[in-house]
Amino acid sequence: MLGASSERNPEAHPVTDLHFPRPHDDPREPGSLARWLVSDGARVRSGAPVAEVVTDGAPRTVRAPASGTLWRQGRAGERFTAGAIIGLVE
C-alpha cells in the first residue's frame, strides 16, 4: 500500500501505561505479577480487572487505567518494583 507505515501514531491512538501497584509496607520491595486476567490484545473497559499481583505477601487486583486495547508488557511470574510498566492500554 503506497504511503502505509507500520509506525504507531500516538496522536491517533493515545496510550495509557498500566503500572505495577505500590506495596503498602515498603514501596521499594518488588512484587510479582501472578497472572493476567485478559488476553494480550483484548479490549478492556476502564476499571475492569486485568491482572493479579502479589505485594506484601497478599494478592491484589490491578484494574485497567483506561478503556481500549490491552498490550501486556510483563509475564506472569516476573517481579516488578512499584510503578514499573506492566502493560499499555491503547
Q: What is the residue whose three cell numbers read 491517533?
A: 12
pLDDT tens by residue, 9-49: 455 568 999 999 987 666 677 899 999 999 999 999 999 99
User: Is residue 65 a contact partner of residue 16, using CB atoms and an 8 Å limit?
Assistant: yes
pLDDT tens by residue, 38-75: 999 999 999 999 999 998 778 999 999 999 999 999 99
Beta strands in 1-90 (DSSP E): 16-19, 31-36, 43-44, 49-55, 58-63, 68-72, 79-80, 85-89
Q: What is the residue whose three cell numbers read 500516538?
A: 10
